[in-house]
Structure 1
Amino acid sequence: MRIDLSGKHAIVTGSTAGIGYSIASGLAEAGAEVVITGRTQSRVDDAIASLKQAQPQASISGVAADLGTAEGCQALIDAQPNTDILINNVGIFAPQDFFETDDETWQQFFDVNVMSAVRLSRHYAKGMRERDWGRIQFLSSESALNIPSEMVHYGMTKSAVQSISRGLAKVLAGTNVTVNAILPGPTRSEGVLEMLKQAADEAGISQQEMEARFVQENRPSSIIQRLATPEEVANMSVYAASPQASATTGAALRVEGGIVDTMA
């Protein structure tokens, strides 16, 4: 199967590093014109340069905006009024004791992880429906199903976007616009590696040992018994964005290594 996205326009939010960067790279490699986003112009410029160095023929541009705000989402919409593929990837995470997580933190996580996707999907889905073709994805997580006790505020947001994804798919029933949620497990993204490096330094062990310990202690039900790579998650996203995935909609597409112990 050869995925060809030539002639398609894609926006990947939060794509200057990690999973978002890998998705942007995969879409560009498949021929899509890709817009990456980040909060600062320097990060956006660096990501564009890196992608173009790896793929000189790729069509890549970027928008710097804080998508955790209504103003930031509008700035992206103003710069890129339409798209064929929207990947709602932008998100934040941080372990924090439930009793120490204040209202401001709950609101921040909701604004960045949930409302960014709501605002952008609400706008771009209209054009997709009018053109009768489109792909919308929400980056959820296995934490949407397996709520981590150390990140209840994070797990809540990932459950929310999975619900929105399923509901929006129903809103767009009968069209050629598909909506799906992608559920990664622990992934070797920039943020996760930084967190594990800090933990490894504190424990006086190597980062490789810490990664293995993290899986064994925090995700013991993992079948692959390791962290996934951003590229492995991106592969699922690129497929779901393809014409070949036309009958896949309203789905929770798991790339979590079998952590969630259910066949459903």
Structure 2
Amino acid sequence: MDTQIKGRVALVTGASQGIGEAIARALHREGVKVALLARNAERLGRVVDDLGDGALAVGGDVMSAKSLAAAIKTAEATLGPIDIAVNNAGGVISSTGGLFRPFDEVPDEDWQATWEFNVLSAVRVARALAPKMAERGWGRIINISSESGVQPDPIGIEYGAAKGALNILSKGLAKAYAEKGVLVNVVSPAFVDTQTLRDVLAQQEGAEALSRDDLATYFLAGFRPNIGVGRPCRPEDVAAAVVFLASEGAAFVTGTNLRVDGGSVTTL
């Protein structure tokens, strides 16, 4: 498939590892110039060094409006106007150490921080870039959500609620900018085998005798029994969906939630 995005410029947040790194690599293979944004400069540097020409490491924190604005300014000054924005940064913010806690154990400040990490960070990126994309008549904003945004778990409810809000934000932006050539979509993965997931699973009962490479597969049946394809999601699966939504092949796709979940969500 000819994606027809060679020469475009992309910003990928949370790009130093896992899903974000896979997205940055996939876009770079399509000839896109990619600004990789994250807080961990050392990890970013390793990825960018491996990618070579057309990749830029931009240190920044999506939780800080000032830091994010400076990062976007640096990226555009170096690579040119950003055509594709991938809001991948997100997750659970916990002041207690536990990532997936019962509802009554999550304090207000963690609800607020998790919402800001997953939703307000994407708001800031879109606010900075969507109007300029509209002026040029072409743009893609792709927000990485989660199956939890439509099929929440009984624990980690603050995370599912934030991803649900991200989905609604994306739909509203899609309606606001479609006629101006800016397409906004969501990719919602399930049970992605990343280092973060392995860290969480390593703390579960039954993980003691398992290698880190076997953790996700072992816990698949218990944590995500409806994944019909029989394996965890890979970061590259998510990246492939992002490349499609960024491509000219998806020129008539906006306001959609592309679920990369192996069948985990049980409704259409």
The verdict on a shared fold, with TM-score over 0.5 as the criterion, is yes
Matched to 1:224, the amino acid is V
1:257 aligns with 2:256: no
1:219 aligns with 2:214: no
Residue 161 of structure 2 aligns with which residue?
Answer: 156
In 2, Cα distance between the equivalents of 1:4 and 1:193?
36
SS in 1 for 2:155: helix
Residue 72 of structure 1 aligns with which residue?
Answer: 67
Equivalences for residues 63-142 of structure 1 within 5 A: 63-81=58-76, 82-93=81-92, 94-142=99-147
Residue 191 of structure 2 aligns with which residue?
Answer: 186
Report the alpha carbon displacement of residue 121 of structure 1 after superposing the two structures with TM. 0.4
Q: Normalized against structure 2, the TM-score is what? A: 0.91
Of 76-85 and 2-11, deviating more is 76-85
C-alpha root-mean-square deviation of aligned residues, in Å?
Answer: 1.7
Residue 55 of structure 1 aligns with which residue?
Answer: none
CA offsets 1:218-245 (integer angstroms, 9 cap, x no match): 2111111321110011000001001111
Q: Normalized against structure 1, the TM-score is what? A: 0.92
SS in 2 for 1:178: strand
Asked whether the 8 Å contact 1:180–1:250 carries over to 2, the reply is yes
In 2, Cα distance between the equivalents of 1:132 and 1:213?
47
Give me the identity figure in percent. Answer: 35
Equivalences for residues 196-215 of structure 1 within 5 A: 196-199=201-204, 202-207=207-212, 210-215=215-220
Structure 2 residue runs of 5 or longer lacking an equivalent are 93-98
Of 130-139 and 34-43, deviating more is 34-43
Match of 2:54 among 44, 53, 59: 59
Matched to 1:87, the amino acid is V
Residue 24 of structure 2 aligns with which residue?
Answer: 24
In 2, Cα distance between the equivalents of 1:259 and 1:201?
23
Asked whether the 8 Å contact 1:69–1:111 carries over to 2, the reply is no
Residue 8 of structure 1 aligns with which residue?
Answer: 8
CA offsets 1:179-216 (integer angstroms, 9 cap, x no match): 00001011011211222234377543444654234221
Matched to 1:23, the amino acid is I
Matched to 1:24, the amino acid is A
Structure 1 residue runs of 5 or longer lacking an equivalent are 53-57
